[in-house]
Every structure is written in structure tokens, then in C-alpha cells.
Structure 1
Amino acid sequence: MTSPGGFDVRRRLADICGEQFAREAGAADEVAGVPARWVAAPGTVEAASAVLSLAADHDLAVVPRGAATKLDWGAPPARLDLIVDTGRLAGIWHRDPGELSVEVGAGTPVRAVQAALGQRGHRLACDPRSIGATIGGVLAADEAGPLRHRFGTPCEQVIGVSYIDAEGRLHHADGWSMRGGAGPGLNQVLCGSQGALALLVSATLRTQAAPSARVWVSRSVWTPLEVHDLVRQALAASVAPSAIEVDLPAHRALLIPRQRSRQGPGTVALLLEGAQAEVLERAEQLVGVLGGDARALDTPPRWWHRYPFEPGEVALRLTVPISDLHAAIYALRDAVGGPIPVRGAAGIGVVQASLPASLGAERVAAILSAVRGVLLFRGGTCVVTSAPPAVRQAIDLWGPVAALPTLREVKERFDPHRRMAPGRWIGGL
């Protein structure tokens, strides 16, 4: 296939990447429902730079792709010509002699990095919920798992990145501020940008010694208020959990009067890590603090590391101070008219929820309006991470975004011609 000007894009991409790594897009090569025209998988940083230079020369809109675990998240691109597959930009590229950090190619699966580091007794404090996710994909979406409670998001663990800008130029950035000392570092701005600023080719992340022991302390719950109280007690106990997660299923038992003799349908679970003896001691202490049917387990609950939504459902992310998390969940239930699945980081106030796929756009919009109205005065947000195409196109995915003017300036600086994932970033940038 040639471009409107007669230029043979596939042929040129094949010259850069190799014949078997450049092709016309197929039925599965789409981003949030928008089909691409070509797919290229550069095998070197130099090839990736040449691909983006080609895209710049011919005004091709580009979306990076890792394992495609989150390509249906967020808004669809305003236009899409070329998917740049990062799968060949993989592997551990450099280890710090002191084992304090590691540089990893963007297309490397997180599990592969953890396996390699684990052979030497180390790990990344990074445990995304998307199975098979790559380092680049996790950083592009700033996707965090349970370990965020203690160690922060994956983007907060990045100490340097290498990226290719919209013109095809390679850059290296560390944690220095974009504005001479105040504000986020450049690597932090690139992380979480959904590929809308540049193509990430590698990242250098902090590593740490892997814990010798891990114990999960789990207790059943009935209500969001009960979750609030238990989390508060656990934090006050100074047991230093690595994660505090909650699972509140859409259970019919929640609609009837509470029966204290029965086990609650929900669960609060805390992860304790460290040396064997002291972890067991902390676990025993925590079981006493939580009371009820709390118990210590050497394996996580079945729902651990999993999102509460399925493909095709409306996926929400609620972020709110932990003191108001129960109020946010109650507000969501009231807006929907009943319990819905909620799961996530109860210890930091970031949870995911799922709305049925059968809800139409008008009903979803009304739910979002009600919930965002409650959260507005509590310093919280409600973002739609994924939804069926008809719903996604008709609703406001993000709600109020106070930083939108600043983000618009950043987009203009990095991608003034709007070729990098146009429309995918916050606010449709």
C-alpha cells in the first residue's frame, strides 16, 4: 500500500526493519477500535529512530505498542497510520555494578525482567495487574499493582529513560526537572503519557533485594465502612505492609441485613514482606489487630493482581484520600442502584470498579456525573479506563482535569504536529 502521495510506506519500513518486520496492518491491528494502516517492529534503537523519522517526513500518526494489554484503555487516537511494535526492543541492556538499578528495553515483559533479576536475588518493586505487560506499556499507562502501597508507582521508580521524539531524534533523560528545579522530572512526564509524547525505547529502574518471606493476612468484610475501619487499624499497628488490597464483589448478600454469623462476601488482604521470623511475628500481630476471621496465608487470594472488570465492560478508576474511600464507593453504589465489583489499593485510595456492558452511554454519563460530583469536594477523581466503543465516544472519560493547560503545553513542546498517539492522552491531547 502506498501513501496518498504515492510513497510506498511498507517498502520503506521493510528496508529499515527487515522484510518480515514490516507489513500492512491486519484486522487485529487497531487501537481502541481505530484500525492502523501499517505495522513496523524495529529491532534496534537506530531502526526505531529511522521509523519515526519516516513517519515525520510523511506526516504519519504513530501509536507505540508493547504486548497490547492496555491498547483499549483511554481514548481512541484521532488518527492512526502506523503502529510501532516494541517487541524487538527487549532485554536487559545494562546492570548497575552495585545491583541498584537496571536498564531494560521497552518491549521486555515485566515477568521476564523479574525472572532474570530473581536469579541474582533481586526484583523490581513493580507488579502490574495486566498479565504479560511490557515495561514500556506499564510506564506508558503508569500501571501499578499492589506493591504501589509501599514502593510507589512504576513511574516513581524510574531514574532515567531513553526515548525517540516525534521527529525521530534519540534523547536520554534522568530525573531532572523540566523547569529548572521545580516540578516533575522529564522521565515522569513521559511516563503515563500513553505514548502521546514520544516512543520510549528503554528505562532505567531501581532494583531491590527480593524479600526472603511473604505472608498475606486476609479478613472477610461486609461494607466499605468496615474496610475503612480495618485499614485504619492496620496502618496504626505499624506492621509495615507492602500492600493493602480490597475486593468487594457485586454480591447479593450485600442487599440484605448483615448476618454477623456469616463470612462477609468481601475481603481485605495485606501483604507482609521481609525476613522469615519477623514477617511471621508481624503477621501474628496483624491477625490480632484485624480480629474476626483474619488469618495468615502463604499464598495470595485468588483475586490478587486481577482487575474487577472483564473485556467489554465499563472500567473505572477511583482515586480519593483513604479517609474518604468508603464514601466514594457508597456514592458509586448509590449512582448505580446496587453493589458493583470494586477492587484495588485500599491503603492508598486507588481502586478499580466495573459497570455492566449493558449500560448505555446516557446511563453511564449520569453515573459518572453523580460520582464526580461527590468526589469533587473530597479531592478525588473518577476516570474511565476502558469502555465499549459506543459508550467511550459519548462520555467524558476523565472528568475535570486541573492540569490540562500544563499538559497541553507539554504536548505542544514534544509533539507540535500531533503525530504521536493524537487524542490518546488526558483530555484528548
Structure 2
Amino acid sequence: MGAIVGAQSVLTDPADCWPYGYDNSRRHAPPLAVVFVTEARQVEAVVALCHEHRIPVTARGRGTGTTGATVPERNGIVIAFERMNRILRIDPANRLVVVEPGVTNQDLQQALARHGFFWPPDPTSAAVCTIGGNLAYNSAGPRAVKYGTPRENALGLTAVTGRGESLRTGVHTTKGVVGYDLTRLIIGSEGTLALITSATLKLTPRAAASRTLRATYRDIHAAARAVAAIMAQPVTPCALEFMDAAALDMVRRFSDLGLPADTGALLMIEVDGPADCVTAAAEAVSAAARDPGLLELRIAADRDEIAALWRTRKALSPALRHVAPKKINEDVVVPVSRMAEFIDGLERLSRDSAIRIVNFGHAGNGNIHVNLLVNPDDADEMRRAASCLEAVFDLVVRLDGTLSGEHGVGLEKRDFVDRELDPVALRLMRDIKRQFDPHGILNPGKGLPPEAG
């Protein structure tokens, strides 16, 4: 490896490799070596060598994922992309940017802002997560409700297959139907098909103005009806977030919310657009939000009021970390029309299992973050939590949902995938994996359950 990238770019001491054996899950497996790459030809050569010697390879950005997808094999290596962090070209005329995978989301957004553009995906970890990781997981964030996920905001890629061969996918135009859509296939594949070495991303002009609204409701059913009504009218909000009663109760323990005492659910809503249209857009969304169960609806007039309205949502994560620093955080999606039914089901599961469940997330597309507040040192509680989690996934599938919206599958959800995908789909996916990676060296064991036998 040193001959390819230079001896100073390879770590082999176990103490040096140790930090590269984990992500934001509780899993850890130290790699045999960490190889820092700075250009695509190095990635090709390293992967070709690993292909020849059957050495497992795990790609890593900054390790912010939550599913164990960047936890390496103990007998494998990590290819670290953090030094491959250049913005290669910003092309405002064609509304695109070309970047390397190690660029952080925040650095990209700051560079684009100077040109009046942004890249829509905005995960919570935007300050530190990389574009390569965003693409590998198809990680989106609140703005996806209006602007879409990385799959809708990527035009093309260059990537290296499990043979060490480089390929280019996609186009530099907004239209293109030549061949199969390998770009969207690789995005979300968690480094199991190919390692991304550059990405051509689609840019969106920054909105001239925005409005922030906060609506509180008597219960989750009223909030869910409001979400359905909001999404059924012509103005699509750029963010539509929700917190359920359990989440609000959690925050009340640590912060004065300034909310009506009988609040059972909360929606945070943002609309954006041209300055002369944004007020009308806010009024249209407000009208749709006025369910009979509405308790209060406020529209922020200035930055101080915007900060005040978001205070409740921003207080939730610190409160959760204080109460259950090692909570189980799952990311699922159900149809918007069935969101209340899902929350009701979670409340039943919470009572039956004696596991406290707190829910929040991106209501506009039914993407719900289900948090099981557990103590990993309590064996009985973890046993009950495991049973509860299985029931959560069964409920999601029964409601025509999906087991992951933006966190990926990795190791955490791998063994539940066959509850959502049928045997034919799984067989075709395994066949595709073998075409890209015939020796199975790219992130082995992630994403799909092992084949029987």
C-alpha cells in the first residue's frame, strides 16, 4: 500500500488504526490498516491490489453514520477519503458542481453560497459529514420534502468497482437516458458496489426569502391530518418537522417550552421562495395547517422569533443525550397518511415492552426517527428493546413503509431487510453486487442479509 500512496499515508499500528474502527453506532472492529487516498488512481490501485489478494475494503469519510456501515472487517483495510476533499469545479451557468468525496457538506454549502446556490441535502451532521457519505447513504435531511434526496440532486459520478476499475456514470445535463441509471444505483449502496471518487451535483438557487411557522396540536392525529393537508396543497414547504407528545414531555424536563400545557404534537414549518411570494406561501400553508385540533399557530417576524420557535426542536437532542446517551435511534418512513396510526402503534409497543419511545422527524415525507431510550448495561431492558424493535419494523412494513429513510442499512438493519424485500429482489441485488464486486471485498456483510447456506 505504501508504494501506492506513500508510507506516510498508511497506518498499521493498532493504536493508530483504532479510531477508524467505528462509526456513530456502538459497533467497533479495528482494521489491519488505514490507507489515506488523495486521488482516483490511488483508489483504483489500492482496490485492485485488494481484489487480487481478497482483502476486505471499507470506505470511510468522517464516520458519522449510525448503522455500522463504515465499521470495517477485522482482517480488512479502511480507505479513508478525508484528504480527498477538493471542490473541483463550480459551474453556475449549468447549475452544477464537481467535488471529491471528502468535501464536507458544510464546506460545500459555504462555497456555493458565494455564487447564490446550495446543494439541497442537509443532514443534521452537515458540519462534519462528507459528500461521499451523503451519497453512500442517500442522506437527506429536512429540505428533502421540497428539494429531494442526493439521488435527485446528483447528475453523475466517477467510481471504482471491486475489480479496481474506474467508471463514469450519469451526465452533465439535466436530461439523459442513455444506458441504465448506475448513478442512482450506486448512491445509497453504502460502498458495497463501488467507491465514489468524484460527484457531479445538481445545484439549486438560494431562495430570496423564507418564513418560519410553529403549529401546536392537541394530539398526533390532528398534527397528522394537518401534515396531509399541507402536502396536498400547491405550496410545498422546504421543511416540515414534527415532535410527538413523548418528545415534548422529554424537553419539558429541561427547558421552558412556552407551549400550551395540553400540547400533544408540534410541527415546525418553513416555506421559501421569491420575496414577493413568500408571505402568500406562508398564508397558504397556515390555512392548510388549521385543523380543528390546532391549539396555536405562530409565524416568526424576525430572526429572534425564528430562533425562539426552533428552540423546542433544538432542545430535544441534548435532552435525549442526557436521559439516554446510548439510546437506540432508528430511522423509518411510513406514508404521510398513516403517520398517526404509526405513532399510535409505537405507543402501544412502548407500553407493552416497558421501553420509553420518543419520536420526531421529517413529517412532510413520513420520515420518523424512532428513539428507544435504553440502558445498554441493563440486560433485561436490552432484551425487551430488541423484541420491541422487531415489532417496530414489522409495524413499518405492515403500514407500507420502509425500514430506512436516510440512515442506511449497514449492520444494524441488515437482518431485517428480507421483511421488506422479496426473495426475487434480493436475488437480483446479490447478482448485481457480484457484477460490481466479484470477490465480495467491498464492505462485505453490509446492506443485504447473508445468503442461506
- Asked whether 1:48 is paired with 2:47, we answer no
Q: Deviations over 1:50-99 (max 9, x none)?
A: 22122223221110000111164459555551111111211221233614
**How far does residue 276 in structure 1 lie from its aligned partner after superposition?**
2.1
The one-letter code matched in structure 2 to 1:111 is Q
Alpha-carbon distance in structure 2 between the residues aligned to 1:222 and 1:143: 32
Alpha-carbon distance in structure 1 between the residues aligned to 2:417 and 2:404: 6
**How far does residue 419 in structure 1 lie from its aligned partner after superposition?**
0.5
Alignment match, 2:341: 327
Larger CA deviation: 234-243 vs 356-365: 356-365
Alpha-carbon distance in structure 2 between the residues aligned to 1:306 and 1:60: 42
Alignment match, 2:133: 137
**Partner SS state of residue 199, structure 1:** strand
Q: Deviations over 1:310-351 (max 9, x none)?
A: 563212122111111111121122112176221212111111
Alignment match, 1:27: 18
Alpha-carbon distance in structure 1 between the residues aligned to 2:189 and 2:317: 21
Contact 1:128-1:145 at 8 Å conserved across structures: yes
Larger CA deviation: 415-424 vs 400-409: 400-409
Q: Which of 365, 371, 389 is the aligned partner of 1:348?
A: 365
Residues 394 and 188 (structure 1), Cα distance of their counterparts in 2 relative to 1, 3 Å cut? closer
- Asked whether 1:14 is paired with 2:23, we answer no
Q: Deviations over 1:14-45 (max 9, x none)?
A: 23223332111532121431211101111111
**Partner SS state of residue 324, structure 1:** helix
Give me the TM-score of the superposition, normalised by structure 2. Answer: 0.80
Alignment match, 2:159: 163
Deviant stretches of 4+, over 4 Å: 74-80, 180-184, 251-254, 304-311, 383-387, 392-395
Alignment match, 1:152: 148
Alpha-carbon distance in structure 1 between the residues aligned to 2:131 and 2:414: 31
Residues 400 and 161 (structure 1), Cα distance of their counterparts in 2 relative to 1, 3 Å cut? same
Alignment of structure 1 residues 401-420 onto 2, 5 Å: 401-402=421-422, 403-420=425-442
Alignment of structure 1 residues 261-340 onto 2, 5 Å: 262=261, 264=263, 266-291=265-290, 292-297=295-300, 298=303, 299=306, 301-302=310-311, 303=313, 312-337=326-351, 340=357
Give me the TM-score of the superposition, normalised by structure 1. Answer: 0.84
Contact 2:403-2:420 at 8 Å conserved across structures: no
Alpha-carbon distance in structure 1 between the residues aligned to 2:192 and 2:239: 31
**Partner SS state of residue 112, structure 1:** helix
Unmatched tracts of structure 1, length 5 or more: 1-12, 255-259
The one-letter code matched in structure 1 to 2:44 is S
Say what the alpha-carbon RMSD is for the aligned residues. Answer: 3.2
- Asked whether 1:235 is paired with 2:231, we answer yes
Alignment of structure 1 residues 33-112 onto 2, 5 Å: 33-70=28-65, 72-74=67-69, 79-96=74-91, 98-112=93-107
**How far does residue 193 in structure 1 lie from its aligned partner after superposition?**
0.9
Larger CA deviation: 90-99 vs 111-120: 90-99
Residues 287 and 114 (structure 1), Cα distance of their counterparts in 2 relative to 1, 3 Å cut? same
Number of residue pairs matched? 406
The one-letter code matched in structure 2 to 1:400 is E
Q: Deviations over 1:2-24 (max 9, x none)?
A: xxxxxxxxxxx223223332111
Residues 329 and 284 (structure 1), Cα distance of their counterparts in 2 relative to 1, 3 Å cut? same
Alpha-carbon distance in structure 2 between the residues aligned to 1:60 and 1:281: 58
Unmatched tracts of structure 2, length 5 or more: 251-258
Alpha-carbon distance in structure 1 between the residues aligned to 2:140 and 2:262: 30
Q: Which of 375, 379, 392 is the aligned partner of 1:358?
A: 375
Residues 72 and 240 (structure 1), Cα distance of their counterparts in 2 relative to 1, 3 Å cut? closer
**Partner SS state of residue 264, structure 1:** coil
Alignment match, 1:197: 193
Q: Which of 370, 375, 394 is the aligned partner of 2:396?
A: 375
Contact 1:319-1:381 at 8 Å conserved across structures: yes
The one-letter code matched in structure 2 to 1:26 is C
**How far does residue 236 in structure 1 lie from its aligned partner after superposition?**
3.8
Contact 1:251-1:339 at 8 Å conserved across structures: no
Alpha-carbon distance in structure 1 between the residues aligned to 2:408 and 2:246: 19
Identical pairs, percent: 25
- Asked whether 1:423 is paired with 2:445, we answer yes
**Partner SS state of residue 365, structure 2:** coil
Alpha-carbon distance in structure 1 between the residues aligned to 2:248 and 2:271: 31
**How far does residue 175 in structure 1 lie from its aligned partner after superposition?**
6.3
Residues 65 and 196 (structure 1), Cα distance of their counterparts in 2 relative to 1, 3 Å cut? same
Contact 1:16-1:47 at 8 Å conserved across structures: yes
Larger CA deviation: 196-205 vs 356-365: 356-365
Alpha-carbon distance in structure 2 between the residues aligned to 1:48 and 1:426: 24
